[in-house]
Amino acid sequence: MIYKIEKNVPIPKGNISKLAVEMQVNDSVFFDDHDKKGRSRGDALMAQLRKLSRQGTTRSVEGGYRVWRVK
């Protein structure tokens, strides 16, 4: 098999990155914890918010985990 090296191909944004960009102040996202990944997805969203110099907060809520953008 021959491989081709390509330059300047942009990396597509993942869903969590899109959420962080689109969230407005006082918006929140609920992550269902049925598969035990709600907290890690919420933590990933918080990390993306921080990368964008935005503030968020998280809480464990019934059935999952919620992230709010506060600033």
pLDDT in tens, the chain (71 residues): 788 878 888 777 678 888 999 999 999 999 998 777 888 999 999 999 999 999 999 999 999 999 999 99
How many domains does the chain fold into?
A: 1
| In-domain check, residue 59 | yes
| In-domain check, residue 3 | no
| In-domain check, residue 55 | yes
First vs last C-alpha separation in the chain: 50
Q: Which domain holds residue 64?
A: 27-69
DSSP β-ladder status, 28-32 and 56-61: unpaired
C-alpha 15, offset from chain centre: 7
Assessment of whether the complete model's pTM goes beyond 0.85? no
| In-domain check, residue 21 | no
**What pLDDT score was predicted for residue 55?**
97
**What pLDDT score was predicted for residue 68?**
96
Token pair recorded at residue 66? 């919620």
**What pLDDT score was predicted for residue 38?**
85
| In-domain check, residue 47 | yes
| In-domain check, residue 61 | yes
